[in-house]
Chains A and B, each alone.
Chain A
């Protein structure tokens, strides 16, 4: 039993931290320092900087441009990125469609798409959910019909297509066969978002950002070679994505950063002439939340150690998404509490409230999404109930 990183790993961490500090340009570093918000162009700028140094895709195999790090190094790197306050890299290309293309794509697809995902030249978004297909994703209705001339004709609507307004490509689950069981008639299709007939409309989130979009497809012509894996085999593609490395999903680094911000705000907020962080009730609340986070960190280490040994994600990792997202939300809830009346502020001039507080309310609102996206926490619980606890299917017992 050893909960420590090795000397080499600690040295790697030190180097990673110094590297991030060194390569982050001042205008991004200034925002990072006060936990500011990054818009997609800034995120992609950061992506391209890391890409230029060969560090944007630590989990990619060397042959596709990864740095050849092991699971522990990847984990440390990710933790350092998260705790640095740097823009969070867009996952759609790097951790979703990229690895899927590596696993199931044709040589032509690999050659066509992977280098541009890596370099950041092409930005991706995800087209899974539909207005009537959320947690019941297999009920999706966007159709792709073979036109007999080498193309699919796509019609339908995708929603929650996060950052589609910045995307060059969208990967979609589409219905290619309606004659079979609903999971069996779905294909995984890559669509150039600039194709005629694609229309993207951003919508405002409760965080007052335009993260989400609706994306419509009106007789969009997509070459058949853009299907990844077999036609009608898309459902297993989507499931394969879930089996990929899950040691990052707890977002322990982000929550660490978030708790640090709470302490910084509480240290400069004065109550009865004393810094708020000296208030027994507030201290106790922060400590209780940090205890939960530190326990989750050990849980995360267990998942990491298991990944290091080459094991598939086990019970220890299924806990990570549920608890990680809950804790992340709780950090923003507590930050709001610590802010007192400053939590009323909503996109005013600079300097009205402490710059550290500037994005807390927006994030508090928007991060309610973390327990919803990536398979809602209720869906995660359904999966654990069935796969780990072995409880009978609802309504079938």
Chain B
């Protein structure tokens, strides 16, 4: 049992914290968001910053060296996620690198090189298109169909809430071919592919995607059958684990922002932080934040566990805890800030919205509670 960061991990976390503070303070996200006071930004993020992240090695952290990555673990990447969350850095690190990138890893080495290496260099981004209007969080009960046509597959269907899908160079799309799941890579601009950019509550963007007979050559088919199912589930579990790391980053930022406010805001002639009712509320935020840290550690340390049951259990525990604890922290932060906490002008609302969005991503608490309760260990009472 060891919870200490290695020297390398500490350096990585420090560099991400520094990046968040100096290269992407909260004001940057505020400017770039899709529905701020100052109007629309097409992308919501900046390619030059994406390249900076590539130069820091972050975009290749989790990928093998033979395709240009650093060959580190998911936990290392989660440290970056946690620190970037403290200023809500808008670049698509999680959806592109950790989630869609994970799905691409189900493909051949050649496919990994073709789709991941340019992203690792900061030239492209990816997105995972899996969810559908009528599938909720199910991965295989979907309506998008793949039909064989010679050497190619022809894909028809609709995908919703494709995170970062509005700008991705490559979409990884799930479809059913004669009852078996397939994962295919579709490049932007493919004939029959239409992408509608939509705004999300947190100021980011996603896409609703229509696939109308999109022809996918066989070299773009990443995985088929159970291999595709496992790869998709793993990608979403990585997303859920990343959400936990991000949620902890947000909670800690919001906690200390709130504690600072309690120390300076005066009413009745004293700092409101001297009132016991508010102190106890702040302590409960601290308790939940500490527990979110434990949950994030659990999910991020176990998400690469080769024992799939163990991985599912850990990720589902953490993601369910995130919804309970995360909601509490940002709601109480708003309450303790008073009216200003409900204005668009104050930063606490930015965190509130991002935390809220996290709950809906990669399976909500109810989805993960159900998965947890259906695990073999849950029923064991011996």
Contact = CB atoms under 8 A, between A and B. Distances in A.
Contacts of B366: 284
A322 interface: yes
Contact of B1 (A308, A322, A381, A395): A308
Contacts of A114: none
A391 B263 contact: yes
A299 B279 CA distance: 22
A1 interface: yes
A1 B271 contact: no
Interface string A304-334: 1110110000011001001100000000000
A357 to B, nearest CB: 15
Main secondary structure of the interface of B (DSSP, over half): helix
B2 A2 contact: yes
B163 to A, nearest CB: 25
A305 B2 CA distance: 6
Interface stretch (A145-153, A285-293, A347-355, A362-370): A285-293
Contacts of B291: 295-296, 299, 319, 323
A1 B276 CA distance: 37
B286 A382 contact: no
Given A3-B302, A394-B275, A397-B273, A292 B259 contact: no
A316 to B, nearest CB: 6
A283 B373 contact: yes
B286 A388 contact: yes
A290 B271 contact: no
Given A288-B369, A291-B369, A391 B1 contact: no
Nearest to B259: A389
A270 interface: no
Nearest to B382: A260
Nearest to A308: B1
Interface in B273-293: 273-276, 279-280, 282-284, 286-287, 290-291
B298 interface: yes
Given A295-B298, A382-B276, A1 B317 contact: no
Contact of B279 (A264, A277, A323, A391): A391
Contact of A392 (B263, B284, B300): B263
Contacts of B372: 287, 290-291
A82 B2 CA distance: 24
Interface in B1-52: 1-5, 9
Contact of B287 (A267, A302, A319): A319
B295 A298 contact: yes
B55 to A, nearest CB: 26
B1 A315 contact: no
A391 B258 CA distance: 11
A291 B280 contact: no
Given A2-B301, A382-B279, A295 B321 contact: yes
A373 interface: no
A309 to B, nearest CB: 7
Contacts of B294: 295-296, 298-299, 302
A323 B302 contact: no
A46 interface: no
Given A295-B317, A299-B291, A1 B280 contact: no
Interface string A91-125: 00000000000000000000000000000000000
Interface residues of A, number: 53
B262 A391 contact: yes
A393 interface: yes
Range for the number of chain B residues in contact with chain A: 35 or more
A391 B273 contact: yes
B369 A304 contact: no
B89 interface: no
Contacts of A322: 287
A284 B369 contact: yes
B219 interface: no
A1 B275 contact: no
A57 B318 CA distance: 34
A292 B328 CA distance: 14
A340 interface: no
A394 B274 contact: yes
A395 B379 CA distance: 51
Contacts of B75: 1
Q: Which of A3, A283, A382: most chain B Cβ within 10 A? A: A3
A264 B379 CA distance: 9
A322 B290 CA distance: 12
A396 interface: yes
Contacts of B381: 260, 263-264, 267
Interface in A258-293: 260, 263-264, 267, 277, 283-284, 286-288, 290-292
A1 B10 CA distance: 12
Contact of B290 (A287, A288, A315, A392): A315
B354 to A, nearest CB: 21
Nearest to B318: A295
A72 interface: yes
B315 to A, nearest CB: 11
Given A298-B298, A299-B290, A304 B1 contact: yes
A264 B9 CA distance: 43
A316 B290 contact: yes
A4 interface: yes
A287 B301 contact: no
A378 B277 CA distance: 10
Given A264-B381, A295-B318, A385 B373 contact: no
B1 A4 contact: yes
A335 B5 CA distance: 40
Nearest to A280: B370
Nearest to A386: B279
B321 A291 contact: yes
Interface string A217-259: 0000000000000000000000000000000000000000000
Interface string B328-350: 00000000000000000000000
Report, nearest first, the 3 A-B pairs whose CB atoms are least far apart.
A397-B274, A385-B279, A298-B294
20 contacts: A3-B301, A5-B1, A9-B1, A283-B373, A284-B370, A287-B370, A287-B378, A288-B324, A291-B320, A291-B324, A298-B295, A299-B290, A315-B290, A319-B287, A322-B287, A378-B280, A388-B286, A391-B279, A392-B273, A394-B274
